[in-house]
Structure 1
Amino acid sequence: MSHQPPDGEPRAEAAGIAAERLRHGFDGEAVLEDVTVTVKPGETLAVIGPSGTGKTTLLRLLSLFYRPDGGTVRIDGTDVWSLSKRERLEARRRVGMVFQEANLFDASVRRNASYGLRVRRDWRGRLSAWLARLNGGGKAAKVTDKLEIVGLEDDAGRDAASLSGGEAQRVAFARALAYDPDFLLLDEPTSDLDPRNTAVIEEAIGAARSRGIGVAIATHDMHQAERIADRVAVMLGGRLIEVGPTDQVFSDPTDPRARKFIEGELVY
């Protein structure tokens, strides 16, 4: 018996990065079941739900860290796990991810922010960077632009060890943006941050969205989801039980479990 995804779409949309009927688990225990959702270019999708319900696993599957046990991950309609290893690597370069912990290197802010550029470029990227340097542009200008987005352009020379937790997370965000991904996946990026650093990250998400990047953020902060998301997906027990425009999901969800969760009742 087939199951329709909660938003009524039997298949993921062509444009964007998409989970289509994803199923995944660990050590024989199911974590995700029959998950279908698309992150469209130039939108922010917030995935909300209680801890342990599968939000992080969904993002890791979309970022190609894991191969799903079932279902497909598509980028602009193409099943990425049907591609060759080289083609899949090229697809992986289109996706950036920011984790809950920044995990910076013992180096300057600029060197941390430029890390993705150094490891992700193919030969065409290296050639383009070399030509750009001849014209006075290239990697340095690109990294400076991304540090400006997170308000750290004046701290490029600082040692990462001197940063606060919030500043370190902003560097991690700049690092994910530096190689100009088409999609950006954020796993609870502001969970331990103070209001100022949270506001900077949220503004940076808006900047990424305005540049046409599709953003998916897993967050336990429903107020944050209301502030920044175009659409919201509610996850419970490894399934998406509600997906829709932010206003509709928060004001008039169709699934009674989603309504109870949003209203603060324990439904898990």
Structure 2
Amino acid sequence: MIHARSLSHGFDGSDVLTEISLDVHPGEVLAIVGPSGTGKTTLLRLLGLFHPPQAGAVLVDDENVWSLTREERLAVRRRIGMVFQDRSLFSTTVAKNAAYGLEVRQSWSTRLKHALARERAPPAVLDALDTVGMRDKVSQHARGLSAGEAQRVAFARALAVEPDVLLLDEPTSNLDPRNTALLEEAVTRARDRGIGVVIATHDMQQARRVSDRAAVLLGGACIEYGDTERVFERPHDERARKFITGELVY
């Protein structure tokens, strides 16, 4: 679905990513693991088409996205959802926060405004909130949510637009075990719907629990990539083995 080919990117003259190649498939979870500062977020932003890579290509359905027209590229971006580590919500209800992605889409705008005016969330929003275990809080104001609940609403907001690909940037960072488990369950349910999920995490055990394939980033380079079990049990690169076992502090 999404193919990264030799992606390289940097900021202020410093390289952040170098020659990254990987694939995102439908109905599969890909974990991007690595220490803080190794380029995981930058890679997600490139896959999410927030900006073009300085070198290499992002292919969607075998087309180089950055060779498309602006309108064509926008249509591709609408197939991709992203949940940031910063779980910012608007000062309104859970339902309206989860519906925001639909509201900004022209094809949904009139229908959505009428639905929200009657305080009834669209079915896609209710389904997304149900997936993350937040449907019972549909009318609650976001100010009263815990950090874990807020992150689950942010996940629902990305899920409500029914994306083909979902990009997650450290989605359970600093969350308690219950909210972490609920979000991991939501990841699995999204995958089971046929969504391609990419999760960037420094939590090695989480990557093993939820992913089908894994990529290890160190120093902006992908040093290991393949089936999760093989990557964690039989890594080809000695640096990857040491990082996974905790022998290498990067």
Match for 1:79 among 55, 58, 64? Answer: 64
**Are 2:209 and 1:227 aligned?**
yes
Is 1:257–1:267's contact at 8 Å kept on the other side of the alignment? no
**Off by >3 Å, runs of 4+ in structure 1:** none
| 3-state DSSP of counterpart to 2:26 | coil
| 3-state DSSP of counterpart to 2:122 | helix
Is 1:49–1:235's contact at 8 Å kept on the other side of the alignment? yes
Partner of 1:260: 242
Partner of 2:193: 211
Does 103-112 or 60-69 show the bigger shift? 60-69
The change in CA–CA distance for 1:17 and 1:152 in structure 2 (over 3 A counts) is same
Partner of 1:10: none
Partner of 2:15: 30
Partner of 1:193: 175
| 3-state DSSP of counterpart to 1:57 | helix
**Are 2:41 and 1:59 aligned?**
no
Measured in 2, the distance between the counterparts of 1:248 and 1:67 equals 32
Question: TM-score when scaled to structure 2?
Answer: 0.94
| 3-state DSSP of counterpart to 1:244 | strand
Partner of 1:243: 225
**Are 2:143 and 1:161 aligned?**
yes
Measured in 2, the distance between the counterparts of 1:139 and 1:81 equals 35
Displacement of 1:159 in angstroms is 0.4
Partner of 1:183: 165
Displacement of 1:45 in angstroms is 0.3
Question: TM-score when scaled to structure 1?
Answer: 0.88
Quick one: which amino acid aligns to residue 240 of structure 2? Answer: A
Partner of 1:5: none
**Structure 1 residue runs without a partner (length 5+):** 1-15
Quick one: which amino acid aligns to residue 266 of structure 1? Answer: L
Displacement of 1:77 in angstroms is 1.2
Measured in 2, the distance between the counterparts of 1:267 and 1:252 equals 20
The within-5 A match list for 1:82-97 is 82-97=67-82
**Are 2:28 and 1:46 aligned?**
no
**Structure 2 residue runs without a partner (length 5+):** none
Q: What whole-Å deviation, never above 9, does each CA across 1:193-219 have from its counterpart, x for those lacking one?
A: 000000000000001000000000000
Is 1:149–1:204's contact at 8 Å kept on the other side of the alignment? yes
Is 1:100–1:188's contact at 8 Å kept on the other side of the alignment? yes
Measured in 2, the distance between the counterparts of 1:139 and 1:149 equals 15
The within-5 A match list for 1:65-144 is 65-119=50-104, 121-123=105-107, 125=108, 140-144=122-126
Percent identity, aligned pairs only, is 59
Displacement of 1:65 in angstroms is 1.1
How many residues of Structure 1 are paired with residues of Structure 2 in the alignment? 245
